[in-house]
Amino acid sequence: MNIKKVLIIGSNSFSGSHLVNYLLENTKFKVAGISRSQEYDSIFLPYLYKKRKRPERFTFYQFDINKDLRQIINLIDSEKPEVIINFAAQGNVQYSWTNPEHWFRTNCLGIANLADNLKNKKYIKKYIQVSTPEVYGPCEDFKENSNYYNPTSPYAASKAAGDLFLSALFKKYDFPVSFIRSTNVYGIHQQLYRIIPRSVIYIKKGWKIPLHNGGKIMRSFVHISDIVEGIHKVMLRGHDGDVYHFSSEPLPIKNLVEKVCDAVKADFKNSVEFSAARNPDFVYDLNCGKAIKELSWKPTVSLGDGIKEVVDWIHDNWVEVVESPLEYIHKE
């Protein structure tokens, strides 16, 4: 496929902004980004971090897929990108129980309205939907499956509904969609409420890190650089209609926090407090066989190295970090 232009919807997101940066550094593509919010402080946008000016091959547009659909379609028709990657989503599981309509508006209706307007545009050669393993429900060593859904939250149900609509477009119109589902993604420039940066900040402030369920909850963590490389491979070689998993070996949260403490040179026992069990925490353990076989993908950044990178980033930007929100802020 001859790619000249790529459009990233949700380019202000953690993963979206890293993909912008990756494509600018590793390809000759022209890249356009769309997000509903203005560009954040540069410590959260890798393509602007420690740079004096915006990269020449990147253009940013502030549009909301729920409110500015016509402007987005006009922009796409004008730019004619061969590849579109969609990160735009309401993404917090816990808060999705409070306002489920907000999650369905973006993750289902927003995606359906967007893709319905794109289904017959022949210049689009690949549309990548950033999905989630939560559409499967609890799973262990789960292989790629585009036909199995067992969501356990409004967030997961809304993402599953969006995926099903895109699958229907593929079956009816040969819409060139591929899906990626990744376990917990981490790295520098991530929102501070996520467990790794949050744990580092708690330690530096002398606060106790709460470990629910005795820290026995199992999670898999994949470094953002491995994720964006995988997305690039899907752009080039991914099959239409298929799902690709990006994951790593799961470990207990207790072990993760121990690694954070080691990186900060803090005593684990003095840095944590064990708290009571909360609502069921499900395991999402994915089999990455298809990505390994078809894309020659595998995670390359060790968890220890990735955590050390986050620790250094927080240390280098401590003044900005302490002035930034430490909690999730919901935007309708």
Domain residue spans in the chain?
Answer: 5-184+221-246
131 to 68, 118, 163, 251, 268: CA distances (angstroms) = 22, 18, 7, 22, 34
The pLDDT-based confidence of 280 (bands split at 50, 70, 90) is low
Is the pLDDT at 277 greater than 80? The verdict is no
Q: Return the CATH superfamily for domain 5-184+221-246.
A: NAD(P)-binding Rossmann-like Domain (3.40.50.720)
Is the pLDDT at 53 greater than 90? The verdict is no
Torsion of CA 5, 10, 15, 18, to 10 degrees: 50
pLDDT at res. 139? 87
pLDDT at res. 141? 82
Q: How far apart are CA 144 and CA 294, in angstroms?
A: 12
**CB neighbours of 37 closer than 8 A, spacing ≥ 6?**
12, 62, 331
The pLDDT-based confidence of 11 (bands split at 50, 70, 90) is very high
Asked whether 231 and 18 are in contact (CB, 8 A), the reply is no
Q: Give residue for tokens 């950044």.
A: 301
The predicted model gives 125-143 an average pLDDT of 93
> How many helices (H) does the chain have, and how many strands (E)?
13, 15
Nearest to 243 by CA among 133, 162, 146, 135: 146
Is the pLDDT at 282 greater than 80? The verdict is no
Asked whether 256 and 303 are in contact (CB, 8 A), the reply is yes
Asked whether 5 and 11 are in contact (CB, 8 A), the reply is no
Asked whether 188 and 134 are in contact (CB, 8 A), the reply is no
Is the pLDDT at 152 greater than 90? The verdict is yes
- Structure token pair of residue 61: 């547009």
β-strands 139-142, 284-286 pairing: parallel
The pLDDT-based confidence of 278 (bands split at 50, 70, 90) is low
Nearest to 119 by CA among 165, 54, 70, 150: 165
Asked whether 194 and 13 are in contact (CB, 8 A), the reply is no
pLDDT at res. 36? 95
β-strands 243-246, 218-219 pairing: unpaired
The pLDDT-based confidence of 144 (bands split at 50, 70, 90) is confident
Mean pLDDT of the chain: 94
48-57, 183-192, 294-303: which has the minimum mean pLDDT?
48-57
Q: How far apart are CA 186 and CA 197, in angstroms?
A: 9
Q: How far apart are CA 71 and CA 18, in angstroms?
A: 25
Asked whether 317 and 324 are in contact (CB, 8 A), the reply is no
Radius of gyration over alpha carbons of the chain, in Å?
19
Question: 218: which strand partners?
Answer: 252
Strand runs labelled E in 228-287: 243-246, 251-252, 272-275, 284-286
The pLDDT > 70 percentage for the chain reads 98
- Structure token pair of residue 302: 């060790």
